[in-house]
Structure 1
Amino acid sequence: MSDARVTFLGVRHHSPACAALVRRTIRALRPAYVLVEGPADMNDRIGELLLGHELPVAVFSHYRSTERVATSWAPLCAYSPEWVALTEGRTAGAEVRFIDLPAWHRAFTDRPDGAANRYADAEARYSRATERLRARYRVDTVDALWDRVFEIADPDGLRDRLDAYFALVRGDTEADDGDRARERYMASWVRAAVAHAGNRPVLVVTGGFHQPALRALTAAPGPTPDAEPAAWPPVPAPPDGAEGGSFLVPYSFRQMDAFAGYQSGMPSPGYYQHLWDEGPDAAAKALRRTVVERLRARHLPASTAALISAHTLTEGLAALRGHPHPARVDVLDGLAAALITDDLDQPLPWNTDGPLRPGAHPAVVETVAACTGDRTGSLHPDTPLPPLVHHVTAEEIRLGLDGDRTLDLDLTNPRGLERSRFLHQLRVLGIPGHTRLTGPDHGADPRDHETWEPRSRTGRDAALTEAGAYGARPDEAAAALLARRLRDTGTAADAGTTAALLFDAVLCGAGSLSRDLLDGLAHRIRTTADPGPLGRALAVVLGLWRHDRVFGTARDPLLGTVLDHAVDRLFHLVEGLHGGPPGVDVPRLRALTAARDALLHAAPALALTPETAAATA
């Protein structure tokens, strides 16, 4: 299906130059269809994306089954090529469609890197494939190379340069099974769009890594002109018993920034927003001004002379490097040279690949923060939200937790205990709003009051939406998240981890937690090979089983099962042990003490009798 009606634009995610190319191309082509790399399960809800949000936002996708939980984000900002394709395509009257597999699909979740970001598939490959180009242009990073060749270069010929660049990237890099599955699926959308478009053009906007493969896959002979239009590809649905979906969440420049560990796209979103809005010269000026303002606000040296010096150095570096305009790295190097007089014990972060490291010079920290920007998106009030958001809001009102006062909760009072459990569920889910100052630390802790203090609720809506991947109600979501943490710790989990998970389960309300969590804890105890950590976990379980009438777990049969497994496993491990390393093995002694206490105080829950235990000793 080699067809001149199809235009493929390979882009780098969050590139202003690519976004501008997409805008120019749509306005020139006036295509019938604009096909965009993005989750196809959002096609019926593209209108939600265009409600009028304050960017950046992200499409948050989730999947939950008995086997796995998967989450993914697809961030969008004003200069994301995908966002420009959506908005400009709609303005031009085109049909806009997402054409990639849903983010929960195994093409994403089975990747070796376990990419949690839809657009995280290419950056490491770029670094490997462009090594020769970086050497030729004498630049340290892919970002510096990209700026020189694309962001500050003449836009004439940009598409040809992009095609050559991405052909190099794809030619030097092996695609994995997930790539190939995604590309076959996207190619099926391209063929269907061409069949439906008649004689009108079709524009395909995807990550540049996929562009050469899509060209090849769609070059095969297609339907004859008189054939029926090809059917639109079906959108995969989660299998029976699994739940999946997508919702919009607010996002921030900090979350997008590579210096903060973001997996994909370009660093310094605050700088590139200025570049998109005003061009490279104005972006350089704005960055210098913001850095100086931040330094002065923190009472760090930033004189007017230093600012003038930074400007002069930036212009000189740009000229020396043959840049028609100051590039981001020119501005950053100029600022560093003007502001930092001390010896540095680590390389400047913009000259390496990776996030900002601990212990960086204060001027470097503030420079990176200025590049990042402080913009945080917000959703339009009409944006649909997952059920968890509504449940939490209603429960806060019902329990009187929607105010901003310090809470003193009496855990012996049913209402106080109910409020405590709800707050602990939100804590486990990572929902901002309250922090516990005082309260019981383990099952045998005699304290029966808790104090909670209100905290900033910034980021609460996004956190609730993301937590909705684990369940529609806070109790079931907290249980599912704790179960996942148990699975994720693997066999290397120590007793502290196991005990913390168990106590979190109790604080959230043992009756509301899934049996999977407690069964998982029992399995972990049965497979523990070290008596010391096992004894610590046993002590916590025993305390909960014996004493914890506050949380309703005293004599709890599920805890009794865990207790039985722990005692049985401990005696299996210590049976036949004689001697050992010099000195006192304190963890082993504590484990045996916990086992003794269990035999004395929890005999009804144990299969092992004191007589059998004595014979073992």
Structure 2
Amino acid sequence: MPAVFLGVRHHSPACARLVADTVRRLRPAYVLVEGPADLNGRLDELALGHDLPIAVFGHYRDAERTATTWAPLCDHSPEWVALQEGRAAGAEVLFVDLPSWHPAFALRANRYADAEARYAEATARLCERFGTGSVDALWDGLFEVAPPEGLAERLDAYFDLVRGDAEADEGDRAREAYMADWVRAVLAEAGTATVLVVTGGFHTPALRTLAARPAEAPGRPALPAPPPGAVCGSFLVPYSFRQLDAFAGYQSGMPSPAYYQWLWEDGPEAAADHLRRSVVARLRRRRHPVSTADLVAAAALTGGLAALRGHPVPSRTDVLDGLVGALVKDDLTQPLPWSERAPLAPGSHPVVVEMVAAGSGTRTGRLHPDTPAPPLVHDAAARLAAIGATGTRPLTCDLTTEDGLTASRTLHRLRVLGVPGRHRTAGPAHGADPVTTERWEAGPEAGRDAALIEAGAYGATLDEAAATVLAERARTTGSADAGLAALLFDTVLCGATALTDRLLTTLTATVARHPDPGALGAVLATALGLWRHDRVYGTARSPLLAAVLEGAVSRILWLVEGAHGRSGADPARLAALAAVREALRHAPEQLTATPADTAALALRITRDPHAPADLRGAAHGLHLTLATTATPTAAALNAAGDPRTPAGPRAAGAPSPLDLPTAALNAAGDPRSLGDWLGGLFALAREEVTADSGDGSLLAVLDSVLAELTDAEFLIALPALRQAFAWFPPRERERIARRLIERRGLRGSGRGLLRTTADPLHLAAARALEENVTALLDRHGLRSTR
């Protein structure tokens, strides 16, 4: 007897009912289901009595690739119903798809994501023909709220149309060939017995064709073997309606899964009522007014829309559109997400946000206690019990003790694995941070079990799994990635000693070609702090850290000397130069660059009229801090590219007795670059340039320069000036304000001068507007005389 094929949509209640009715009617001897064939020997795990939704989590890891996939199952998943009803009918139930680690799944995270984009054109034509805005609304009208008579025939016609002549990708072709091998083999075994095949509707037309061809080899197809050295496997994990929701980005999910759960349990009319009441309850809990009149209007709109769209009972979109029409009184600036099957856009109306949340639901699955779990789950439980982190009390770790360091490493390993439950509220923030204690607070544990099971893909113990994840981060962090410093510090915090050495070796090679001085500066600051100060984690004076220092300093200096162009102040680049300064101060013996060489390089940058203004200011500050005497150079004359500054012998290279205040005076030649130049200077030599408080100090000259700017020039310079002075901590800014008051012979509080009733930029812009209006009135003789 030929196989009976049922093409279904994943997580569709209508398809789930069809599967249940078909199994009860046909009583097949075999039920073949789209699912990972490597789980066939463990299907009893699915019958333990879980609270759905759950998912089959598959993982794969080798030296080149790490992949994870999920096959979600809920009460109304046709695959789940096929498993349960098939077992109840006495059939042999088998998964017949490739295992999750197979290369066919290399580009997808979800087994049931059938790449609907390939038949989007066909569904778009259907949507236009039936006057619906999305494929979900089309589906509901054709199948979920339609009468059940003729459902199988309608599904066949629908999937034949949407598949059409579309060519499946290489991965789906491999999957369909493997599933067809299973169908042919089981048909040969079944003789005259019935074989039911339940797969995604996209695959059904191809499977019918492929299964009719002669078998290439007798017997059931073998399970593909993973490559040598690869680690792979499958486990059951808890899942949630939120993860199933298409509005949250799940490609093959049904949007509003709570609605479809109600539809599965109570039918379409009750589901519409549940959805309406759930939306209203959420809005009222958030104190959004929903009156009885609003509910009457919403019910009337819903009924009218259902009738207009030809639905025998209101569908999900009928209910949602009716509620929007009655409850949203403002203009909508974003399309409704159910009108185009899109995630919520930023700025969505609050009522729409609550409607999407109500349809999504809050249900989270739970595995039966007897469900097998990867070794990591048991190792993590034992480690947490050993350090006393199983309750809700905060945990304090003294990093100077062996027990405290062990507890810290355990919790950091869970953190890098993404396992919820504990979060750090205090502790060292970087390698130079002198803090030696950490405080970890207990937090929500929702999703903890699933996260631990999924993390089990990386290793059997916490230290092994964390080291694998960190190694993966090291492998995938590109040379232009700014996360190198965080990766280095995380590796140290987790105590991954062997990985630390490998990572430092990798970093040494990476920094030699890194294009971003800002990211290099973060790596340099972290490595320098660990090299100088770390006695807790055992990395102080590490030769590998010294190699990172040398490579980062050389690369940063090479990059900044070649930087050209006009740009605003770049705080990351300035911080990188500050890190170079600190390395020259505290680890000069580890560096090829000497303070004298670096001072000479800084001098060249200050003279380069094409270098960014902030970089020229920073180079001036770097030269100032490294020079044996505080004698600035003629390069300061060109600090901001002042076209009024004549070229001469001093600009050619010889040092000059020109002082720093004069450099600032020349920087004011272009108000657009003055603030950027000062920002660079303050970032590198804040203490040096503010130490003198006399009339010839930088502060005094800057005060005079700013006083001479026109209002228009001051407005141009103001944003960058504010950014420049942000390099000063609040106490130093207060001291500067007090000195400015004293220069004017006034009395008052520096702190009060820093506090304004409005943003200074707004005040300055308001003053400029008033002056422009006054000038316009004067031009036309309209201003009254005083």
TM-score (norm 1): 0.92
- Aligned pair 1:49/2:49, yes or no? no
CA contact (8 A) 1:483 1:520 kept: no
- Worse-superposed segment, 88-97 or 412-421: 412-421
1:587: how far off? 5.2
- Aligned pair 1:336/2:329, yes or no? no
- Aligned pair 1:500/2:486, yes or no? yes
SS in 2 for 1:244: strand
1:77: how far off? 0.2
- Aligned pair 1:18/2:15, yes or no? yes
Choose from 87, 90, 96 the match for 1:90. 87
1:41: how far off? 0.9
2:378 and 2:295 map into 1 onto residues whose CA distance is 50
CA contact (8 A) 2:492 2:500 kept: no
Aligned equivalent of 1:463: 451
1:582 and 1:358 map into 2 onto residues whose CA distance is 30
Q: How does 1:423-462 map to 2 (within 5 A)?
A: 423-462=411-450
CA contact (8 A) 1:480 1:514 kept: no
Task: State the one-letter code of the partner of 1:116.
Answer: A
Task: State the one-letter code of the partner of 2:579.
Answer: A
1:34-79 CA-partner distances (Å, limit 9, x unpaired): 1111111111111101111000000011111111110111100000
Relative to structure 1, the CA distance from residue 58 to residue 587 in structure 2 (aligned partners, 3 Å threshold; closer, same or farther) is closer
1:528 and 1:487 map into 2 onto residues whose CA distance is 15
Choose from 273, 279, 285 the match for 1:297. 285
Aligned equivalent of 2:269: 281
1:362: how far off? 2.0
Aligned equivalent of 2:129: 136
Relative to structure 1, the CA distance from residue 299 to residue 589 in structure 2 (aligned partners, 3 Å threshold; closer, same or farther) is closer
SS in 1 for 2:322: helix
1:610: how far off? 4.0
SS in 2 for 1:130: helix
1:457 and 1:10 map into 2 onto residues whose CA distance is 38
Relative to structure 1, the CA distance from residue 192 to residue 564 in structure 2 (aligned partners, 3 Å threshold; closer, same or farther) is farther
- Aligned pair 1:187/2:175, yes or no? no
1:582 and 1:159 map into 2 onto residues whose CA distance is 64
Task: State the one-letter code of the partner of 2:33.
Answer: V
2:352 and 2:572 map into 1 onto residues whose CA distance is 45
Q: How does 1:33-72 map to 2 (within 5 A)?
A: 33-72=30-69
Relative to structure 1, the CA distance from residue 515 to residue 6 in structure 2 (aligned partners, 3 Å threshold; closer, same or farther) is farther
RMSD of aligned alpha carbons: 2.3
Relative to structure 1, the CA distance from residue 136 to residue 247 in structure 2 (aligned partners, 3 Å threshold; closer, same or farther) is same
Aligned equivalent of 1:591: 576
SS in 1 for 2:69: strand
Task: State the one-letter code of the partner of 1:177.
Answer: E
Relative to structure 1, the CA distance from residue 34 to residue 166 in structure 2 (aligned partners, 3 Å threshold; closer, same or farther) is same
Equivalent residue pairs, number: 601
Task: State the one-letter code of the partner of 2:337.
Answer: P
SS in 2 for 1:509: coil
1:490: how far off? 2.8
- Aligned pair 1:484/2:472, yes or no? yes
CA contact (8 A) 1:147 1:327 kept: yes
1:483: how far off? 2.7
Choose from 144, 147, 151 the match for 1:151. 144
5+ residue gaps, structure 2: 602-786
Aligned equivalent of 2:199: 206
Relative to structure 1, the CA distance from residue 580 to residue 54 in structure 2 (aligned partners, 3 Å threshold; closer, same or farther) is closer
Task: State the one-letter code of the partner of 1:39.
Answer: P
Instruction: Answer with 1 or 2: which has the greater Rg.
Output: 2
Relative to structure 1, the CA distance from residue 597 to residue 292 in structure 2 (aligned partners, 3 Å threshold; closer, same or farther) is closer
CA contact (8 A) 1:62 1:469 kept: yes
SS in 1 for 2:203: helix
Aligned equivalent of 1:226: none
Relative to structure 1, the CA distance from residue 324 to residue 552 in structure 2 (aligned partners, 3 Å threshold; closer, same or farther) is same
CA contact (8 A) 1:545 1:554 kept: yes
Choose from 361, 371, 391 the match for 1:373. 361
2:452 and 2:426 map into 1 onto residues whose CA distance is 25
1:370-393 CA-partner distances (Å, limit 9, x unpaired): 111111110001000011111100
Aligned equivalent of 2:375: 387
Task: State the one-letter code of the partner of 2:16.
Answer: A
Aligned equivalent of 2:540: 554
Task: State the one-letter code of the partner of 1:594.
Answer: A
2:597 and 2:491 map into 1 onto residues whose CA distance is 30
SS in 2 for 1:598: helix
SS in 2 for 1:62: strand
1:339: how far off? 1.4
1:536-567 CA-partner distances (Å, limit 9, x unpaired): 32121111111111222212344334334324
Aligned equivalent of 2:523: 537
2:262 and 2:126 map into 1 onto residues whose CA distance is 27
CA contact (8 A) 2:491 2:500 kept: no
1:585: how far off? 7.3
Aligned equivalent of 2:154: 161
Choose from 220, 234, 239 the match for 2:222. 234
Relative to structure 1, the CA distance from residue 578 to residue 125 in structure 2 (aligned partners, 3 Å threshold; closer, same or farther) is closer
Task: State the one-letter code of the partner of 1:253.
Answer: F
CA contact (8 A) 1:12 1:265 kept: no
1:409: how far off? 1.9
2:236 and 2:446 map into 1 onto residues whose CA distance is 17
2:182 and 2:57 map into 1 onto residues whose CA distance is 22
Choose from 313, 321, 341 the match for 1:353. 341
Choose from 62, 73, 76 the match for 1:79. 76
SS in 2 for 1:263: coil
- Aligned pair 1:108/2:105, yes or no? yes
CA contact (8 A) 2:104 2:172 kept: yes
Quick one: higher RCO (CA 8 Å, sep 6+), 1 or 2? 1
1:419 and 1:427 map into 2 onto residues whose CA distance is 12
1:267: how far off? 0.7
Relative to structure 1, the CA distance from residue 508 to residue 613 in structure 2 (aligned partners, 3 Å threshold; closer, same or farther) is farther
CA contact (8 A) 1:129 1:173 kept: no
1:238: how far off? 2.1
1:9: how far off? 0.9
Choose from 221, 232, 235 the match for 2:214. 221
Task: State the one-letter code of the partner of 1:262.
Answer: Y
SS in 2 for 1:86: helix
1:516: how far off? 4.7
